[in-house]
Amino acid sequence: MSPPILLIFIDSFPFYYLDKTKYLSKFETVAKLTPGFGYSINCQAEIFAGLSPDNLGYFCEWTYDPLNSPFKKWKYLLNILSPARKIYYLDRFLHKIIDNIYTNSKNIPFAYLHKMARNKQDIFSNYFSYDSLLKHKDTIVLPTQDFLSLPPAKRDLKIYEKSISLIDTINNKNLIISQTELDGIAHWHGVGSYKYNENISLLDQRIVNLRERFLNRFKDGKVIIVSDHGMTNVKKSIKIELEKNIGRPNDRTYYYFLDGTILRIWIFKTAVKEKIETYLESMGIGSIIDTNQRKRFGISNRKFGDVIFLINEGLMFIPCFWGSRISKAMHGYHPDLESQKGIILCSQKEQDLSYKSISSKDVYYFLKSKFIN
């Protein structure tokens, strides 16, 4: 068997923040990770399974999928509730009722819910049906999903404490753990805020403690740190008004899904496509992802949207289908931006990796070589 590995996944640790750490920046191998397109649900699948959205068959957590929408039988009731959209607290109250009865409906307008379906294939969940490093036979996994009943700070602490005790008892097993609180802190407090820097210092200390304990137990073991993407502060919110400028979505024209940084549009009438593209380009706030880029990032499947529009760095769609409040920081911008780069660190010298920029898929093949050889 290969030497055991301790793999620590950190949600949203940006490469550009590495030099603010005492221990992480001193790892023997430091490299920059270029994420895949989209959000964590896809970025993490590329890192741990080597699969792009085209390979997986899904892009983002929610999508236009009327045949599989859990709300398709609720169409008429949801239409009745639609006017509540104009009254914020009533709208949120009704969404909460739906969430408690069925599933998290986010801030998706009631009138569109019956056309939307939620993908549950998070790589850390039991729903993930593809092979991945998390399913390696000699590997123990401590994902955040096992501790969702706890608040974020306590989840990370519980995983850390359990990891410390596991290192003392596991016998030549790989250990994969998650630390995910940093992502939420960045969204709601901002990169560089007091709470953000406090959490960075906490992570830095926890990781050096885990590293020392693991390598003392397994002299030939490896400690690897990986984050799925970076993060950047939001400077301005943008309100996009497709209904006002294009008309209300319907089965003859178009439907859309508006994430914080990504707008996906499914078009059923050619003339509408040209009108939408003209409107989006006139706003000067982002760009339509062309065919070549969609192929490069593995989002070429047309079921992901006939048009995928990406907002510029530092901007955010508000209101969007995730919420009506602007975040202090966001990810999900173009993967080539420096602010979106994550990290890949190793406790041993890796000449082919050191101080290079590599894609999520290449990170997967690097990790796979360590787990399987």
> Cα separation of 115 and 256, whole Å?
10
Q: Are 193 and 212 in contact (CB under 8 A)?
A: no
> Cα separation of 136 and 118, whole Å?
27
pLDDT band at 2 (very low <50, low <70, confident <90, very high): confident
1, pLDDT greater than 70: no
Quote the pLDDT of residue 29: 96
Q: Are 361 and 46 in contact (CB under 8 A)?
A: yes
Give yes or no: residues 341 and 288 share one domain: no
Residue 138: which CATH number? 3.40.720.10
pLDDT in tens, 286-319: 999 999 999 999 999 999 999 999 999 999 999 9
pLDDT band at 283 (very low <50, low <70, confident <90, very high): very high
Give yes or no: residues 86 and 195 share one domain: no
Q: Does 61 map to a domain?
A: no
Percent of the chain at pLDDT exceeding 90: 79
Least confident piece of the model among 93-102, 214-223, 341-350: 93-102
Residue 263: which CATH number? 3.30.1360.110
Mean pLDDT of 16-38: 97
Q: Does 60 map to a domain?
A: no
Regarding pTM above 0.85, the answer is yes
pLDDT in tens, 113-170: 999 999 888 899 888 999 999 998 889 998 877 887 888 889 999 999 999 999 999 8
For residues 168-201, one letter each, b for 16 or more C-beta atoms within 10 angstroms of the residue's C-beta and e for the rest, the string is eebeebbbbbbbbbbbbbbbebbbebeebeebbe
93, pLDDT greater than 80: yes
Q: Which amino acid is at 279?
A: Y
Give yes or no: residues 187 and 265 share one domain: no
Q: Are 121 and 62 in contact (CB under 8 A)?
A: no
